[in-house]
Each structure stands twice: as C-alpha cells, then as structure tokens.
Amino acid sequence: METQINVPAGISGRASAKDFFINLGAVVALGFFVGNLINLLFTIINKSFPLTTGSGYYESSSISFPVASLIIFFPVYVLLMYLLEKGYALEPEKRSVGIRKWLTYITLFISGFALAGDLVTVLYYFIDGRDITIGFILKALSILIISLSIFFYYISDVTGKLSVKSRKIWMVISGGVIILCIIWGFSVLGSPRTQQLLKYDQQKINDLQNIENSIQNFYSTKGVLPSSFDELLTQNYYVNTIDSQTQKPYEYQKTGNLTYNLCAEFNKDSKDNGMDTSTPVFDNYKNISWAHRAGYYCFSETINPNLYSKPVLVPTR
C-alpha cells in the first residue's frame, strides 16, 4: 500500500509521497535549469557586448557551470514530467491533487512576476532617460521570452489545453533552444579547453597582484625595493611565486630604485578573459593596468614614494 502524506492546510486532496516528490522535483529542476539558462545567456551577452566602463577586471566569463547544469537538469525535468503524465494517464484524478495545483500556481506566479518586473525595468530605463544598450535590450528580451514561455505553458496546462502531442512539441523546442544556446556559448567564449586556459591566466593575474602588494608593503617598511623574490620571502611575505600551470617561477626584475617588472607567460590576450584592452581597467587602489597580450608579458610598475612615509631608522650599537 502506497504511503500517504497530508498536504498543508488549505490544499485540497491528498498526495502520495511519490506524487509529492515528483511534482516538487519537476518544479525545482525547472527553476534550476531556467536560472542557469538565463545565466548562460547573460554571460554570452556580456562577452558579445562588453561595457566600456566598469569597476573591476576579469568579470566571470565561464559558462562551465550553467552548461553542466543545463545538460543535467533539463533531461531530469523532462523525465519527471514524463513520469507525471504517465501517472495522469493511468489515474486522471491525480491532476487535481492539491500539491500539483499549488506548485503549478507558484510557478505561474514567479514567471508572471518575472515578466512584469522585466517590463517595468525596461519602461523605467526608457522614462528615466537611461542609456539602453544592445546588451541591456538582449538581456531584457531573454527574460521576457523565457518567462512568457513558462507562463504560457503552465497556464495552458492549468486550463487543460495541452495534449500529449503539444507537450512533446514544447519539450523538443525547449531542448533545441538549449542546445543552440550552448553551441552559441562555446562559439563566443570558446571550448572547455579555452575556458581552462583563461582560468589559468586569471590565476596568474591574482598571483601577480598579491606579489605586487607584497612588494609595495616591503617598500613601505624598508624604504627600498626587494632585490629578488628570495629577499621578499625572507621578510615573511608569504606569496605564491610559482605559476600553477607551468610550475615555473614568475619573474621579478628590479629595474631601478623605484621601478620593477613582474613577468609571466599568458595563454590568451586579456581581452579574451573579459577585459577591454582599449579602455584599461585599473587596480582599485593603485594606478596599475593588468591588461596583457598572449605569450610572455611583463608589467612595468613604478613606486610612488609620496604614498609612503619614510621608515624610521633605529641606530645600531
């Protein structure tokens, strides 16, 4: 005998544990793959139509997680919907189970709210005289089309206008759109191997930034630049000086009393990792651009002594 569970007060009907979890799983899978589809589209749009101004560098351009989520959760959603429809064909009265109605109307509410919010945002930007860019329009259209499709599908389901054939058509079209978006993403942002190389480059920049900060702190304390990484490390500045990809050390070149170079081998041009090299984005605290070309590249840095107080020299006996 199948286990029965009581649904919350105010929900008509009773549902088995199987009905409850399949319906809940379908809605969760829907929300997860739709959220990652939007994430994928936004990442592609950001890459295709980058902003010329921004406060940071190396904004996330990875599509690995949204693509992986779509590959897993869309088939899960299709499978769960198939199981539900198979159960409804055997027991039509299950379509009136309370948990199904509640989850369906919650989905309608969320998609309708997203649709309304999207339209309000576009109208607000227009009335407020904001700069409506191509990227903004494409993002608004993405949310509009996705939320409208979900709303229309579920409202048709609630009103009983969906047949077995029409459901299959919806699933095929949805699957086709997702496949096209994934292909589009890889064509714009590169293959998984390209994504890996970009992550290596991002790690190199992070390491060089930490090294640069340590050098600045060393100068602030000693009043001079370190002569090498070894001298920097002997002063308890714990920084990674080894390239995690090549397992070779980064290069530090002291070129003057106030100048030095930090060098590394990069896989890609920085513009491939979300940085617009025509409008360099600088470090939040220092006037340093981290834009670079592919291959061996050195960042030439200069200490501004006016930013640091002179160290107090303690006489030795």
Window from 19-33, 73-87, 238-252, 276-290 with minimum mean pLDDT:
276-290
Q: Read off the pLDDT of each residue in 128-141 and give the average, rounded to a whole number.
A: 85
**Secondary structure string (H, E, C) spanning the chain:** CCCEECCCCCCCCCEEHHHHHHHHHHHHHHHHHHHHHHHHHHHHHHHHCCCCCCCCCCCCCCCHHHHHHHHHHHHHHHHHHHHHHHHHHHCHHHHHCHHHHHHHHHHHHHHHHHHHHHHHHHHHHHHCCCCCCHHHHHHHHHHHHHHHHHHHHHHHHHCCCCCHHHHHHHHHHHHHHHHHHHHHHHHHHCCHHHHHHHHHHHHHHHHHHHHHHHHHHHHHHHCCCCCCHHHHHHCCCCCCCECCCCCCECEEEECCCCEEEEEEEECCCHHHHCCCCCCCCECCCCCCECCCCCEEEEEEEECCHHHCCCCCCCCCC
**The pLDDT of residue 317 is above 70:** no
pLDDT of residue 272: 65
**The pLDDT of residue 25 is above 60:** yes
Averaged pLDDT score across all residues of the chain: 81
Q: Which residues contact 9 (CB under 8 A, 6 or more apart)?
A: none
CA 165-168-172 angle, 5° bins? 140
pLDDT of residue 308: 65
pLDDT of residue 57: 41
Calpha distance 292→140 (Å, rounded): 33
- Kindly state the percentage of the chain with pLDDT values over 70: 83
Q: Read off the pLDDT of each residue in 184-209 and give the average, rounded to a whole number.
A: 88
pLDDT of residue 261: 93
User: Tokens 């544990």 belong to which residue?
Assistant: 17
Instruction: Return the top range by mean pLDDT from 44-53, 69-78, 188-197, 264-273.
Output: 69-78
pLDDT of residue 266: 94
Q: Residue 100: pLDDT band by 50, 70, 90 thresholds?
A: confident
pTM over 0.85: no
pLDDT in tens, 146-155: 999 999 999 9
**The pLDDT of residue 127 is above 50:** yes
Q: Read off the pLDDT of each residue in 290-313 and give the average, rounded to a whole number.
A: 79
pLDDT of residue 296: 93
pLDDT of residue 311: 52
Q: Read off the pLDDT of each residue in 34-47 and give the average, rounded to a whole number.
A: 91
pLDDT of residue 259: 92
**The pLDDT of residue 77 is above 90:** yes
Q: Which residues contact 112 (CB under 8 A, 6 or more apart)?
A: 147, 151
Q: Residue 199: pLDDT band by 50, 70, 90 thresholds?
A: confident
Q: Which residues contact 176 (CB under 8 A, 6 or more apart)?
A: none
CA distances from 135 to 41, 46, 216, 270 (A): 11, 7, 38, 21
- Kindly state the percentage of the chain with pLDDT values over 90: 33
**The pLDDT of residue 193 is above 60:** yes
Calpha distance 196→43 (Å, rounded): 16
Instruction: Return the top range by mean pLDDT from 10-14, 141-145, 228-232.
Output: 141-145
pLDDT in tens, 258-289: 999 999 999 988 876 655 444 444 444 455 67
Q: Read off the pLDDT of each residue in 157-174 and give the average, rounded to a whole number.
A: 89
Window from 25-39, 77-91, 249-263 with minimum mean pLDDT:
77-91
